[in-house]
Amino acid sequence: MRGPFDLHTHSSVSDGTEVPADLVASAAAAGLAGIALTDHDSTAGWESASAAAREHGVSLLPGMELSTRHGWQSVHLLGYLFDPADAGILAETERIRHDRITRAETMVARIGHDYELEWDDVLAQTTPDATIGRPHIADALVAKGHVQDRGEAFATILHWRAGYYEPHYAPEPLEGVRLVRAAGGVPVIAHPAVSSDRILPEDYLRRLVDAGLFGLEVHHRDNSRAGAKRLLELAAKYDLAVTGSSDYHGTGKLNRLGENTTAPEVVERLVAAASGWAPVLG
Ligand code: AMP
Ligand code: FE
Ligand code: FE
Ligand code: ZN
């Protein structure tokens, strides 16, 4: 297998700005050998992304970024090459997506007391099957002229301290790892060190390893430098794979495709560890 691979990208099926086929075309244009499509809590982009990957001759690892939570701490779990029809995965992702809608409606109602904003303004920023999140509320706030861009929205109105925030349902990371493995997939913790003091406690990480955790996304712009160093130590100690990726969201974030990548040998091991779904190999 040749590289480079970018194992964390988002399309308009969640909070990216490109439809899956355009995202794959962008990856080909960026000179990537392959990408993983990892929309939040949804596999709805797999089919069109796979067709585009065959067309462009790039590799595609269908995946997902599953929302989980440990106590107050939000933990994003990347799952690759699992069976998208698995009953456990289907039930859990449907529950999360449904609660994300209720939660977004709650936030919009609160924001609506202080700013001109309605639920229809948010719906206007999404496609019918999209996983709804704060980025879509951000886009509605931009369209209404309340903020300049998503970054400003997250720094102000959508910040959890701003008074409008509401959490949404999410399972424990341990449950997430079990679900992905039970569906034949391969779990990797996304950006585990967005702040160096926020890495999961080591005894809990050990339980994730025992349940089948495959790797840690060490090379990601949101991991702190000290945190990434600590993650490398933990990866060596627990024999976890080290991945790198962009977390591309189209024009929704500054992250550029391929700004961090994963070694082809790691991708080979990841594919070999999966039994739920086959990658498209370019
Ligand atoms: P939610 O899961 O609905 O709480 O929204 C979190 C999502 O918002 C994450 O998946 C990020 O991709 C996105 N996000 C977080 N901070 C920012 C930011 N500053 N600018 C753009 N998108 C962001
Ligand atoms: Fe996102
Ligand atoms: Fe994430
Ligand atoms: Zn992401």
- Rounded to the nearest angstrom, the distance between the alpha carbon of 143 and the centre of ligand 2 is 19
Report the alpha-carbon distance of residue 42 to residue 67 in Å, rounded.
10
Report the alpha-carbon distance of residue 204 to residue 196 in Å, rounded.
16
Q: What dotted CATH number matches 93-162? A: 1.10.150.650
pLDDT digits (tens, 9 = 90+) for 71-93: 989 999 999 999 999 999 999 99
Q: Which residues line ligand 1 (CB under 6 A)?
A: 15, 40, 133-135, 150-151, 154, 249, 252-253
Residue 196 pLDDT: 54
Residue nearest to atom 20 of ligand 1 (CA): 151
Residue 197 pLDDT: 63
- Rounded to the nearest angstrom, the distance between the alpha carbon of 153 and the centre of ligand 1 is 10
Instruction: Indicate the domain borders of the chain.
Output: 93-162
- Rounded to the nearest angstrom, the distance between the alpha carbon of 195 and the centre of ligand 4 is 16
Cβ neighbours around 207 below 10 Å, total: 15
* Non-local CB neighbours of 4 within 8 Å, separated by 6+ positions: 31, 32, 33, 258, 261, 262, 264
pLDDT in tens, the chain (282 residues): 888 999 999 999 999 999 999 999 999 999 999 999 999 999 999 999 999 999 999 999 999 999 999 998 999 999 999 999 999 999 999 999 999 999 999 999 999 999 999 999 999 999 988 999 999 999 999 999 999 999 999 999 999 999 999 999 999 999 999 999 999 999 999 999 996 567 999 999 999 999 999 999 999 999 999 999 999 999 999 999 999 999 999 999 999 999 999 999 999 999 999 999 999 998
Report the alpha-carbon distance of residue 95 to residue 170 in Å, rounded.
9
Q: Which atom number of ligand 1 is nearest to the Cα of residue 133?
A: 3
* Non-local CB neighbours of 77 within 8 Å, separated by 6+ positions: 65, 66, 68, 173, 176, 177, 180, 187, 188, 189, 190
User: For tokens 């080591």, what's the residue?
Assistant: 202
pLDDT digits (tens, 9 = 90+) for 21-57: 999 999 999 999 999 999 999 999 999 999 999 999 9
Q: Which atom number of ligand 1 is nearest to the Cα of residue 249?
A: 12
Residue 129 pLDDT: 87
Residue nearest to atom 5 of ligand 1 (CA): 134
- Rounded to the nearest angstrom, the distance between the alpha carbon of 245 and the centre of ligand 2 is 13
